[in-house]
Amino acid sequence: MSKELAVEMLNISMKFNEKTYANKNVNFSVLKGEVHALVGENGAGKSTLLSVLFGIYEPTFGEIKINGIQQNISNPIVANSLKIGMVHQHFHFVEIFKLWENISLGAEIKKLKLFNNKKQIIKKISIIMKENDLTLNLNKLAKNASVGELQKAEILKLLYRDSEILIFDEPTAVLTPLEIEGFLNVLKTLKNNGKTIILISHKMKEIEKVADRATVIRKGEIVGTYNMNEVSIDDLSVKMVGRNLKVIKNTHNFKGEEQVLKINNINVTSINNKKIQALKNFSLDIKAGEILGIAGVEGNGQSELANVISGLQKVKSGEIFIKNIKINDKSIYSRFHTYKMSHIPLDRQKHGLILDFNVLENSVLQDIGEKPFSNKLGIINKYEIKKRGLKIINKYDVRDSNGGYAITRSLSGGNQQKLIIGRELSRESDFILIYQPTRGLDVGSIEFIHSQIIEAKKKNKAILLISYELSEIINLSDRVIVINSGNVVGELVGNKINYDLIGKMMMGNN
């Protein structure tokens, strides 16, 4: 790492509307060859700041220097020409194209100026992969690739374009623990190869592992920049949220009797491959007031389990009951209304929100046709919708820049997630299916959401918690089931729940 500056953002302000600054008088600089973390609460202005650097937004005020020279980065093409590349919070791929086609899209090597020179393109990508310790099947269609593979393809897109300054917006939020290890290693290699890396992340442990320095941003303004060997991750967290944090834990005072969810011997095929059995003679039950955690390596049947309960997929055989009523063949609508289910889905943008609706509308999404939000004639009661929406916004600290009327797409990722959680925990329900609730949330929001899940339990709701964050499962569950290849391989109750035992069961050594 040299002392030369790769990036200087000077006095940057960014306003999307009259009311709020997303960034205010920000001074942010990055040294050549360092890994620099940008951290802050959901909605603090991290993605906005780096989108300004990448030319997606023109700042309201301020200037940017790249390698010491002032530049007007009016769009991403200019950013690319300055060797700046960005991997966004949500990926962009042409699904029916192969990965090599996606990687080279718009920068293809041509044959006779007309056709893509597949051989040359693949050769170029292969050399880059070798230099950076990356392996990827380039002939896979994007729609068949895993999130981890798509991310590698995103990184290759940047390297293919010779980017020197690499911006990552929450790269590990959607990865499995194993993929995260791989990604952090790739980051180290990129750094060793001289790249400058800017990393947005909420995961303090990862930042501790890879970052040289970290800048904290709060409500659009810079709090400070710190050398990672001079600051603890607890200090950083306090600087981010402005208060001390505590770990929320289930006290296991559970005496519930009434069975709410019962799953009896279900067999379910894999979402990706109909020939594979994702769940095999799988059974579980959850009582009112109980949080049942599902632990296991991703891809061992968790998504299929969530799908058959929420109605997105059908079982091949077996039964699912809510309060003794078989719901296998019930519509998604009736599961939510008649059988009183709530659902915090894995993919917030696909299954949790309508991004072009405003926040108030999304806050009552499944219930908009029900009382009190609509009357018998189907006439919508805007007053009631606003009342509920504002209650969720206030309680769950959903940061929307326009009093509930902002288009949901404009919310920061974490705030979209808080909106879904607020909606689902505020609905009248007996059973809540929760899948990776704190993905993309800041450390303060995680603490709050965990306390709200415990509150829901205290209100006697039955909760199924599927998560790949083992600490989340351990802290919140009354009981934990460990699954492997679609089978239950272990169960732990109350004070017996601990890392070691779950870890061993997950690996199949119990």
Residues in touch with Mg ion (CB under 5 A): 47, 412-413
How many CA atoms, within 13 angstroms, populate the side-chain half-sphere of residue 252? 13
Minimum CB distance to ligand ATP, residue 328 (Å): 37
- Is residue 254 within the footprint of ligand ATP (CB under 6 A)? no
C-beta neighbour count of 354 within 10 angstroms? 12
* 415: contact with ligand ATP by CB under 6 A: yes
Does 438 help bind ligand ATP (rule: CB under 6 A)?
Answer: no
- Count Cβ atoms within 10 A of the Cβ of residue 171 and give its class: 0-12 exposed, 13-18 middle, 19 or more buried: buried
- Give CA–CA dist 14/374, Å, rounded: 39
CB of 355 to ligand ATP, least distance (A): 12
Closer residue to Mg ion, CB minimum distance, 45 or 437: 45
Q: Please choose which of Mg ion, ligand ATP, none residue 22 contacts, taking the beta carbon within 5 to 8 angstroms, the exact cut-off set by kind.
A: ligand ATP
Please report how close the Cβ of residue 234 comes to ligand ATP at its closest, in angstroms. 19
Residues in the interface with ligand ATP (CB under 6 A) total 18
Q: Which of 5, 8, 13, 16 binds ligand ATP (CB under 6 A)?
A: 16
Q: How far is the CB of 368 from ligand ATP (least distance, A)?
A: 23
How many CB atoms lie under 10 A from the CB of residue 65?
15
Could you tell me the smallest distance in angstroms from the CB atom of residue 169 to ligand ATP? 7
Q: Which of 27, 267, 410, 487 binds ligand ATP (CB under 6 A)?
A: 410
Residue 295 interface partner, choices ligand ATP, Mg ion, none, CB cut-off 5-8 Å depending on type? none
Pairing mode of beta strands 341-344, 431-435: parallel
Q: Work out the number of other CB atoms within 10 angstroms of the CB of residue 356.
A: 10
Strand partners, 35: 197
- DSSP line for 53-95: HTTSS--SEEEEEETTEEE---SHHHHHHTTEEEE-SS----T
Is 44 an interacting residue with respect to ligand ATP (CB under 6 A)? yes
201 binds ligand ATP (CB under 6 A): no
Evaluate the omega torsion of the peptide bond into residue 372 and state whether it is cis, within 30 degrees of 0: yes
Residue 46 binds ligand ATP (CB under 6 A): yes
Q: What are the beta bridge partners of residue 198? A: 36, 167
Nearer to Mg ion, 237 or 417 (CB): 417
Residue that is written with structure tokens 């891809």 in the block: 299
Per DSSP, what are the bridge partners of residue 312?
Answer: none
293 binds ligand ATP (CB under 6 A): no
* Binding interface with ligand ATP (CB under 6 A): 16, 22, 40, 42-48, 399, 401, 410-415
